[in-house]
Amino acid sequence: MKQILYLEVPTADTAAVRSWLQADFAPGNGEKVLTPEGIRLKITARNTLASEVVSETLPDEISVFVWSVQRTTYLKVFRWADKPFPDEKQILQRLKTEIRSRFPHRYPEPPAIDLSQQSIFAALLPYYPLTVKYFQKMPNGEYDLKRAYWWEQRWREGVRQPQEPRQVVFSHTDNQTRGQGGNSLLSSPHPQYDIIYIGGALGAIHAAVMAKLGYKVLLVERLPFGRMNREWNISRDEIQSLVNLGLVTSAELETVIAKEYKDGFNKFFDANNPPKLRSPILHTPTVLNLALDSEKWLQMCGQKLQAANGEIWDETEFIRADISESQVMLTVKHLANGNEQQVSGRLLVDAMGTASPIAWQLNGGRTFDSVCPTVGAAIERGFEPGVWDSQYGDVLYSHGDISRGRQLIWELFPGAGEELTIYLFHYHEVKAENPGSLLEMYEDFFTILPEYRRCDLDKLVWKKPTFGYIPGHFSVGSSDRTIAFDRLIAIGDAASLQSPLIFTGFGSLVRNLERLTTLLDTALKHNLLSFRHLNKIRAYQTNVSVTWLFSKGMMVPTGKFIPPQRVNAMLNTFFGLLADEPAEVADNFIKDRCDWFTFNRLALKAAAKNPALLLWIWQLAGPRDLLRWLGSYYHFTRHALVSALLSKWFGRFLKWSNPWLEPRYPALWLHLLAINYAISTGKPRSRNQVVKVSPEAVIQISH
């Protein structure tokens, strides 16, 4: 028996596919015999020439059957005989054409609802029954489901109106008025704050550091402060930067670590891959192996911020920013009473993530090139003994092939006690007709979680949902994404300069916290707050930007069908290579510390192991994106050469020249500092290397 066809049918209604196959599909040749899960097609003697007899012992027939997994239907065709029979290709082509016409890709979206007439549960129940059922079992589930619905609507609005985004940032001269109620931009003669942050998750971390440096800081947050729709995982060597910068002590840091696991697994489904494209488990014991208590961590950051005379306005929504030559005037609305008020500052920091209207306005049609719609939950307990050992995590895992046009990937991280945090996501190309859905993903999550980890959902004790849109930008060079305006700068997911493979804006922010803090401190001290200066303060790495092609290879193009096993085969090719390398190679690669030589060596090994990989990437990425990627690779190579020339002496030169260079030429000093961080960030480390703050950073932070 030989498999001759394997298809993904993008529908959860497997019964409908089976019924169509049995009742409506006309193969045009042979006798159709019904089976419990499909049909058998018997090739009659009059259709087979004597010289083309397939086998003396095996029947000349094919078996077609369907099954369901991952809320998706799959179809396979097997031939009993050893050789093809007459018209076999035509039958298979007819089957593919007709089934794809009958069951095309569909990209559903949430309904428009009026919550003044009904609850969010009642409004969404006909569309997402399991999502409603299990959100009702969660503390604050109604509030969180409203939040998920709001976030999806905001995301879709940005994707569908990229060229005409909602205008929220306005530029003025000092003698202009807003023209709205007659309020003058100079209603406050001096800025009330040095820095105003919008967004209380990543914003709280950076705000606390800047407040400890002596700046007057205001944090504006739409949610009640400390609430998070995500949990955060990171490694110990990366989180050490928070101690090095003086934000927390080592003892304080230990109090917010909920769990430190022994090992993390990376494994992709390979049952439909040929033997050479199956890979062993990649063990990454020091990747994302610290689970933080995110709410406790944010509360600690809030306390640090307030102890340094900073302020927090939570349940307060950003409305607009009016920027003049001397300050930025922010209009915000308190959600509890609907009152609007204005507040002024020297600098505005956008930390609103993918929901940021500022990011959409600054970047228009290329705000985000890709996104990972991510859903999940923190679960207190309820798994049967033996389902999972809490000393281990799943960093990346798939239990099936492409599902309704997406390669679904799981993450699982142990938390305190019996708690497990589980995520389901996929890499997705941003398209107006297919923006990517959180609520559709949640229905998948609650349907297929028992397939991933044996459990009875009704016995699980749910702590909270975790969800969001994790963005990516296919950067060609260091300046092809706008992250700043006069007196305005974006950080975290709003800046979208993080790795498109593993990390969210949290990992990028923590790894670049010293860099962003030192450069921003320098800019504020010398009032270098114009676009051309602030745009240099970014968490960009050439070795990160060059990896976007990998994420592109994990995205199924909208409206297209590709072999269901294709993405898993690509993932297994590369992660199999990492599994054969020394442990520090995988550690450095996943933590964005891969150098030029290692990147090229691994790329060549992958091409040698699987020559079809280049063709597959061409099919998925297309010529336009491949040409863009060549630009990224050029900058990566040029950066490697410049780093080799400067790295041994440039930092020492800055330390020597600081006393006389910075006071006389502050703009030049900021530029040179940015160059120094660009060549020093993302360098590979040995497994036991101690992380220290650079001498230049110590000089700057101490000021």
Q: Is the pLDDT of residue 184 over 70?
A: no
Give per-residue pLDDT as tens, 95-140: 999 999 999 999 999 999 999 889 999 999 999 999 999 999 999 9
Q: Are 674 and 537 in contact (CB under 8 A)?
A: yes
179 pLDDT more than 80: no
Q: 327-341, pLDDT tens digit by residue?
A: 999 999 999 899 999
- In the three-class reduction of DSSP (H, G, I as helix; E, B as strand; rest coil), residue 240 is classed as helix
The C-alpha atoms of residue 614 and residue 629 are separated, in whole angstroms, by 13
Q: Examine the pLDDT at 23 and tell me if it is beyond 50.
A: yes
Q: Which of 450, 464, 293 is nearest to 376 (CA)?
A: 464
Give residue 44's pLDDT band: very low, low, confident or very high (50, 70, 90). low
Side chain identity at residue 444, one-letter code? D
Residue 193, amino acid: Y
**Per-residue pLDDT, 53:** 47
pLDDT band at 92 (very low <50, low <70, confident <90, very high): very high
Question: pLDDT band at residue 21, thresholds of 50, 70 and 90?
Answer: very high
State the virtual CA torsion across 348, 352, 353, 358 in degrees, nearest 10.
Answer: -60
Output 386 or 72, whichever has higher pLDDT.
72
In sequence order, what E strands does 337-460 have? Answer: 340-350, 370-381, 392-397, 409-414, 420-425, 428-429
- Please give the angle made by the CA atoms of 635, 640 and 643, to the nearest 5 degrees: 120
Domains of the chain: 2-102 (3.30.310.50), 169-365+474-702 (3.50.50.60)
151: its two tokens: 């976030």
Q: Three-class SS of residue 373?
A: strand
Round the average pLDDT of the chain to a whole number and report it.
89
Tell me what the mean pLDDT of segment 595-618 comes to: 92
pLDDT of residue 702: 36
Dist. CA 657–CA 702, nearest whole Å: 16
Question: Residue 583 to residues 228, 282, 286: CA-CA distances in angstroms?
Answer: 33, 9, 10
Q: Can you tell me the distance from the alpha carbon of 305 to that of 211, in angstroms, rounded to the nearest whole number?
A: 6
Q: How far apart are CA 399 and CA 69, in angstroms?
A: 9
**Spatial CA neighbour of 375 closest among 346, 349, 350, 410:** 410
Q: Would you place residue 697 in the very low, low, confident or very high pLDDT band (cuts 50, 70, 90)? A: very low
Token pair, residue 370, equals 């890709």
Q: Exposed, middle or buried by CB within 10 Å (0-12, 13-18, 19+), for 433?
A: exposed
Give the DSSP H/E element, type plus range, for residue 77: strand 72-79
Contact between residue 314 and residue 228 where contact means Cβ atoms under 8 Å apart: no
pLDDT above 90: residue 362: no
- How far apart CA 427 and CA 418 sit, in angstroms, is 29
Kindly tell me if the per-residue pLDDT of 34 is higher than 80: yes
Find out whether 227 and 319 touch, Cβ atoms under 8 Å: no
If we measure between CA atoms, which residue out of 179, 87, 8, 159 comes closest to residue 563? 8
* All residues at 6 or more sequence positions from 686 whose CB lies less than 8 Å from its CB, including other chains: 584
Instruction: Specify the pLDDT at position 180.
Output: 45
pLDDT at 295 over 50: yes
Euclidean distance between CA atoms 240 and 594, whole angstroms? 20
* All residues at 6 or more sequence positions from 682 whose CB lies less than 8 Å from its CB, including other chains: 541, 543, 544, 592, 593, 594
Return the closest-CA partner of residue 453 out of 377, 387, 381, 378: 387
Residue 54 — pLDDT band, cuts 50, 70, 90?
A: very low
| Mean pLDDT along residues 227-250 | 89
51 confidence band (pLDDT: 50, 70, 90): very low
3-class secondary structure, 438: helix
What is the rounded distance in angstroms from the CA atom of residue 52 to the CA atom of residue 628? Answer: 51
Reduced to 3 states (helix: H, G, I; strand: E, B; else coil), residue 243 is helix
Per-residue confidence (pLDDT) for residue 174, from 0 to 100? 65
Please work out, in degrees rounded to the nearest 5, the angle formed at the alpha carbon of residue 142 by the alpha carbons of 141 and 146.
Answer: 115
In this predicted model, what pLDDT tens digit does every residue of 431-464 receive, in sequence order? 999 999 999 999 999 999 999 999 999 999 999 9
> Hey, what are 496's tokens?
């979208």
Say if residue 691's pLDDT is above 50. Answer: no
